[in-house]
Amino acid sequence: MAAERPSRAAARDGRRTVGWWRRKSLRFRLTAVASAVLAAALAVSAWVMIGVLGRSLLSTIDDSIYQRARGTVSLADAERLPGELTSPDGTLLQVIDGAGRITHATAGTDRLVPLLNSGERAAAVREGRARFLNGEPYGIPHVLRVRVLSADRGLTVIAARPFSEVQASITTAGHVLLGGTPLLLVLLGGASWMIIGRTLRPINALRRGAEEITDTARSRRLPVPEARDEVHSLAVTLNDMLARLEKADARQRALVSDAAHELRSPLASIRLQLEVALGHPHGQDWQETAEGVLEDTMRLARLAEDLLALARLDERGGAPGRREPVELDQLVPQAVERYGEAVTVRIGGLPPGPPAPAEGTDGAIVVAGDALDLGRVLVNLVDNALRHTHAPVAVELRVEGADAVLTVTDDGPGIPEPDRERVFDRFTRLDSARSRDEGGAGLGLAIVRETVHAHGGAVHLEDARPGLRAVVRLPLS
């Protein structure tokens, strides 16, 4: 239990730290992260710079003492060594014979004790590279960099140079970096704060614009920055979303308003008939009243069914309820069978006649979709045609290329060409239809269009001369 308490306390501290970090602004977090990365980069750069500088200076000293030793070896081999060796760059030189005695040396160098004993000299010659040597035992208060070369007649040349100048250069560079790096980090952090602030300014503008958009300002749009960057794309996308939401909201309000208007008429009719019947019960024809109330109730039921169908189409987002093979050559006769002789059906090359199951066709006409929805499309088109026709409605199904084409033709007065697209809108009825009160709430063709579009097809109206023809195209499966 005692061991669990520290772990729980550490976990709580970790959650508090994370919570504190998340509560900070995006500008602060980005600046802090950028500063931390810059600090790490500067620290690594300083370390690398010091290392490279040290190796470069060390290599320079090694080359210098090698050249001085090589020149002394050349003089020894030629037996031209002067009595007193000189070195303008401060290199210490000792020439040692085979017996270990110092024969020649530069001023300030011990002439009795070699800088390296015989074993160290032999090892240094074999290694062929410079090594460090503490100069204090030889009266030199510096660390030395020593190189040993062998000459003729058993002579050995030792060249040494103090390492203090390299250490001084490295120390100076370290002090400069130690003092300059924090200042540079502060400057870069401030620059990052300003740059990030300017970068986030369009996002702040988007936020302020979003705060100003209320229920009374739906048509307003978010400001779009001039720069063609991710914020510009975000603003354009959000404005497109606002336009779609505004359109959907307007459509929903119109639907509610139109539905309330359509519901008002049958409800008012039912109320009036019942009030008259109850006010004059003895002189009332109850059979006629019941028939009138039933007719208005059926209008309400049809309207409710149409509204439910549209709601389901909207809920599915333009997709059919199900997607399965549907044989239109079987569905069409079955869907219009209840109309009897009021509808003639022609499928493929068969002659027109009363609706009956199609037999003897060259092949099934199959599309992918929902059989119930497609049946409702045909019923709505036929019902709409029967309100205006005198002769039987002609239903034809055929194949054109990769499409199944379904047409419903009547001989009624038709629809003017400017209104043929408008009648597919919800609750749209032409003025003549409203004055005749021919039934329907203006939702049948809207259901047809949205259902056909959900199945990947298209629908339009065209002149049949006389009459009107509704043409539905669906892609074959």
Q: Spell out the domain ranges in the chain.
A: 81-163, 233-313, 320-475
- What is the structure's pLDDT at 306? 75
pLDDT of residue 405: 93
Q: Between the CA atoms of 417, 389, 298 and 274, what dihedral angle is there, to the nearest 10 degrees?
A: 100
Q: Length of the chain in residues, anyone?
A: 477
| Beta-strand pair 393-400/343-347 | parallel
| Residues of the chain under the 70 pLDDT cut | 1-18, 214-219, 316-319, 321, 349-363, 429-441
The helix/strand/coil state of 302 is helix
CA atoms within 13 A on the CB side of 360: 5
CATH 1.20.1440.230: does it fit domain 233-313?
A: no
Pick from 356, 360, 350: which is nearest to 338 by CA? 356
Q: Which two tokens stand for residue 158?
A: 């030792």
> Rounded to two decimals, what is the model's pTM?
0.50
Distance CA 379, CA 80 (A): 124
Q: Which fold has domain 81-163?
A: Beta-Lactamase (3.30.450)
Helix (H, G, I), strand (E, B) or coil at 465: coil
Helices 286-315/230-279 angle, 10° precision: 170
CA 48 from chain centre, in angstroms, equals 39
In angstroms, the CA 332 to CA 397 distance is: 8
Tell me the C-alpha distance between 330 and 356, whole Å.
9
* Spatial CA neighbour of 465 closest among 413, 393, 388, 405: 413
Rg (C-alpha) for the chain, rounded Å, is 50
Q: What's the token pair of residue 454?
A: 């959900």
Q: Judge whether 233-313 and 320-475 match in fold.
A: no
- Strands of the 131-134 sheet, one edge to the other: 102-105, 92-96, 156-162, 143-150, 131-134
Instruction: Tell me what pLDDT residue 317 has.
Output: 66
Q: Which of 160, 153, 162, 161 has its CA nearest to residue 103?
A: 153
**How far apart are alpha carbons 372 and 322 in whole angstroms?**
9
What's residue 361's pLDDT? 43
Sorted by sequence, the CB contacts under 8 Å of residue 374 that are 6+ apart come out as: 326, 328, 331, 367, 451, 455, 474
Tokens representing 226 are 């001039």
- For the domain made up of 320-475, the CATH class stated in words is alpha beta
Q: What is the pLDDT of residue 471?
A: 93
d(Cα 146, Cα 159) in Å, to the nearest integer?
6
